[in-house]
Structure 1
Amino acid sequence: MTDTTPTAQLSAAGVSIWLDDLSRERIKTGGLQKLIAEKNVVGVTTNPTIFATALSKGEAYDEQVRQLAAAGLDVTDAVFEITTDDVAEASDIFAEVFESSNGVDGRVSIEVEPGLAHDAAGTITEAKKLAAKVDKPNVLIKIPATVEGLEAITETIAAGISVNVTLIFSLQRYREVINAYLTGLEKAKAAGIDLAGIQSVASFFVSRVDTEIDKRLTAIGTDEALALKSKAGIANARLAYQVYEETFASERAKALVAAGANEQRPLWASTGVKDPSLPDTLYVTELVAPNTVNTMPEKTLDATFDHGVITGDTVTGNYDDANAVLNAIDALGISYDEVTELLEKEGVDKFIVSWNELLDTVTKALEAAK
């Protein structure tokens, strides 16, 4: 690995590259280790869709499924065992990265059951259960940024468990997420928990914002509307970084950092382009800023490694332009609040569908193994 590859340049610019994918095949074949060694990957994110896809392909899970079937486990417990095993193994693979980065990177995320997205108490219970089962210092528990999720984020952080907050679309919800994190840290501090061991990232979704707003701009169809296509997602994310900078410069946040706490880093999620006419590295090269994470599907990672052009920080200094984009979209009658609320709802719904597909796949596998 050289320092001249685009992924090395991206890392040097302060962006941690995480892979948005995990499978047992990738673990067992050494594919994950290869990405660490060659493409600067320093973490992994998972979700129900990723596990559903992994389990539906190949034979990597067959032996464990037979063992679980023989033990008489039901499908929910079987899914819990399978997914936590993958995350624990991946956590071991990233242990060296975790140590060398002082716990900042080398992180592997696992999501609470998406059906709990509007159940704060259920999410807190599940988060603690997942953390205990994986039992690795570098695991992150993914909690969606629903209204109910905010309480769960606070209480999970307060228990000393590191959290990846997912499905953030709006700037206001992002402010609420940071507040939930800081409140959790304050509770943890009061309980005597070492704040240095708690990490968190806030996953701000990018391409899905463009997909929804571009659809509405196309329907309007004027030159002014069409000129704004594929600009909202990046503008929104850049303004999220401004929120991050301002909030962690507050006296409240600085007091916690002085007590040993870590800043909650912004994470760019949904960074694979959905529109084939767009540059395939768009949501990477246009969102370069210090102390951020970009979690990429492998296709986007490969594109970035192959031909990404990294020109340094492309976020700070662009806030006025970003505001102008969102204001112009609003002036056309497209409601930012309506779009972001819809995307949050759709995000939860999509993960529930994937979760049900995962349960269905494992149910069939368990029955076939009997």
Structure 2
Amino acid sequence: MSARLGEVVASGTSIWLDDLSRERLIEAPNATSLAFLIKNEFVSGVTTNPIIFSQAISKSNLYANEIAVLAAAGSDVESIITRLTTDDVRSACDLFTDTYRRSNGIDGRVSIEVDPRLARDTQTTIAQGISLWKLVNRPNLLIKVPATVEGLPAITALIAAGISVNVTIIFSVTRYKAVLDAFMDGLEIRLSNGESITEIHSVASFFISRVDSEVDSQLKVFATPAATALLGKAAIANARLAYQEFLRVKASQRWKTLKNNGAHIQRP
């Protein structure tokens, strides 16, 4: 596995682990610990979501003492969850410190997601994003924001506030274009306010497999040779179109102006 992952990394791709738990953080280095994966399996980032944390907390006894202490002190459920998750993310950020420094901030990133129940609430998404950024208090953090219509202005506002963002649940090229615009809008606002944009990083999480799951289910209804020949191909074709949009923006005068002011491109 390591050799194959090494080939992927050599091609310019970063390997991120879509998982985090306290076991991965505190156990002695073994094949499943984050420290081992960073050192031996080319892992250069971590992304999390509420489902990942729900499974981690519910299946482990490593959180029990902290939960009991916080509950006894009067913390409510939401506060306890926030404390547990931000503690884990902060610890993961620290494990990636060397990766972060060696890559000049490109890799070594850890994502934490705003509450998905806020996906249609711009202002509360902004407020929670700022709060999570301050709670974790690590430069290699990414605040994960959904690419809903309401999420787009939140992305702009967080970038303008100097917060690095991972934009998630992007399925279409049209929405990806809007995400790129929201990202650059935030950089331009920050520049117009006389503030630096050199430390801001962003990634765009363009979904692949879920597109095929939906499209293939519809193709199977037709059950024709032409439809069957298209199974498993829609998502890659969609992603290639999105990448062409990325290249277009990267070559634009708008981006060149931002780059000349120290901006880092939003990575797809």
Shorter-chain-normalised TM-score: which range?
over 0.9
Deviating above 6 A after TM superposition, structure 1's stretches of 4 or more consecutive aligned residues are none
Separation in 1 of the partners of 2:52 and 2:135?
Answer: 20
Q: Paired residue for 1:20?
A: 18
1:58 to partner: Cα distance: 2.0
The Cα offsets for residues 1-28 of structure 1, whole Å up to 9 and x where unpaired, read as 98xx111111111001110000011111
1:211 to partner: Cα distance: 0.3
Separation in 2 of the partners of 1:64 and 1:254?
Answer: 48
Separation in 1 of the partners of 2:104 and 2:180?
Answer: 22
Q: Paired residue for 2:252?
A: 250
1:193 to partner: Cα distance: 2.3
1:192 to partner: Cα distance: 2.5
Counterpart among 73, 76, 85 of residue 74 in structure 1? 76
Q: Does 1:185 align with 2:187?
A: yes
Letter of the aligned partner of 2:108 in structure 1?
G
Q: Paired residue for 2:4?
A: 6
> How do 1:280-299 and structure 2 match up within 5 A?
none
> What SS does the corresponding residue of 1:15 show, helix, strand or coil?
coil
> What SS does the corresponding residue of 2:169 show, helix, strand or coil?
strand
Q: Paired residue for 2:140?
A: 138
Q: TM-score, normalised by structure 2?
A: 0.97
The Cα offsets for residues 31-73 of structure 1, whole Å up to 9 and x where unpaired, read as 0010011110000000111111111112111121111111110
Separation in 2 of the partners of 1:211 and 1:191?
Answer: 44
Q: Does 1:49 align with 2:47?
A: no
Letter of the aligned partner of 1:257 in structure 2?
K
Letter of the aligned partner of 1:166 in structure 2?
T
Separation in 2 of the partners of 1:233 and 1:54?
Answer: 30
The Cα offsets for residues 101-153 of structure 1, whole Å up to 9 and x where unpaired, read as 00001000000001110110010000000000000000000000000000000
> How do 1:272-351 and structure 2 match up within 5 A?
none
Higher relative contact order (CA 8 A, sep 6+): 1
The Cα offsets for residues 282-340 of structure 1, whole Å up to 9 and x where unpaired, read as xxxxxxxxxxxxxxxxxxxxxxxxxxxxxxxxxxxxxxxxxxxxxxxxxxxxxxxxxxx
Q: Does 1:89 align with 2:100?
A: no
Between the two proteins, the alignment pairs up a number of residues equal to 264
Separation in 2 of the partners of 1:171 and 1:235?
Answer: 11
Q: Paired residue for 2:42?
A: 40
Q: Paired residue for 1:297?
A: none
The Cα offsets for residues 170-216 of structure 1, whole Å up to 9 and x where unpaired, read as 00000000000000000111222221100000000000000000000
Counterpart among 206, 209, 212 of residue 210 in structure 1? 212
Q: Paired residue for 2:240?
A: 238
Separation in 2 of the partners of 1:61 and 1:131?
Answer: 22
Q: Paired residue for 1:59?
A: 61
Counterpart among 93, 109, 112 of residue 111 in structure 2? 109
Letter of the aligned partner of 1:190 in structure 2?
S
1:154 to partner: Cα distance: 0.1
Q: Paired residue for 1:323?
A: none
Letter of the aligned partner of 1:9 in structure 2?
E
> What SS does the corresponding residue of 2:105 show, helix, strand or coil?
coil
The Cα offsets for residues 340-369 of structure 1, whole Å up to 9 and x where unpaired, read as xxxxxxxxxxxxxxxxxxxxxxxxxxxxxx
Identical columns (%): 53
Separation in 1 of the partners of 2:60 and 2:88?
Answer: 15
Separation in 2 of the partners of 1:238 and 1:64?
Answer: 46
Q: Does 1:196 align with 2:198?
A: yes
Higher mean Cα deviation, 252-261 or 191-200? Answer: 191-200
Q: Paired residue for 1:129?
A: 131
Separation in 2 of the partners of 1:194 and 1:133?
Answer: 22
Q: Paired residue for 1:176?
A: 178
> What SS does the corresponding residue of 1:197 show, helix, strand or coil?
coil
1:93 to partner: Cα distance: 0.4
Separation in 2 of the partners of 1:126 and 1:252?
Answer: 30
> What SS does the corresponding residue of 1:219 show, helix, strand or coil?
helix
Letter of the aligned partner of 1:102 in structure 2?
N
CA RMSD of superposed structures (Å) = 1.1
Letter of the aligned partner of 1:127 in structure 2?
G
| Structure 2: gaps of 5 or more residues | none
